[in-house]
Amino acid sequence: LAHRLAELKEAGEMRPQHVSMAKRNNVRTARDQSRIAREMLGGNGITADYSPMRHMTNMETVYTYEGTHDIHTLILGEDLTGIPAYQ
């Protein structure tokens, strides 16, 4: 997805909806991976000795920051259907 977005940008064809899709996907993937990293360490994953918990809380913040995930979903939905879900 990131590679395709770079191609679109270089060709001058990138749209804001493409950026929304990439942001939404990348944050979701990073959040999932930080959870897996924390789980791999078991009880140690929540201590300050290891960084997965710090990354996981950071990704949770980015995921929900002012409804970012939901806003990107609405932008993509409007692009696909042509019907705005907000005004």
**Tell me: the pLDDT tens digits for 10-57?**
999 999 999 989 988 988 899 999 999 999 998 888 888 888 888 988
Per-residue CA distances from 57 to 43, 53, 69, 73 (Å): 16, 6, 16, 22
- Answer yes or no: are the C-beta atoms of 30 and 56 closer than 8 Å: no
Indicate if 66 belongs to the active site. Answer: yes
Catalytic residue among 7, 10, 60, 66: 66
* 2-80 classified as CATH 3.40.640.10: no
The CA distance from 16 to 37, in Å, is 31
Q: What residue ranges do the domains of the chain occupy? A: 2-80
User: What pLDDT, on a 0 to 100 scale, did the predictor assign at position 66?
Assistant: 62
- Answer yes or no: are the C-beta atoms of 72 and 23 closer than 8 Å: yes
pTM of the model: 0.76
Q: By three-state DSSP, how is residue 8 classified?
A: helix
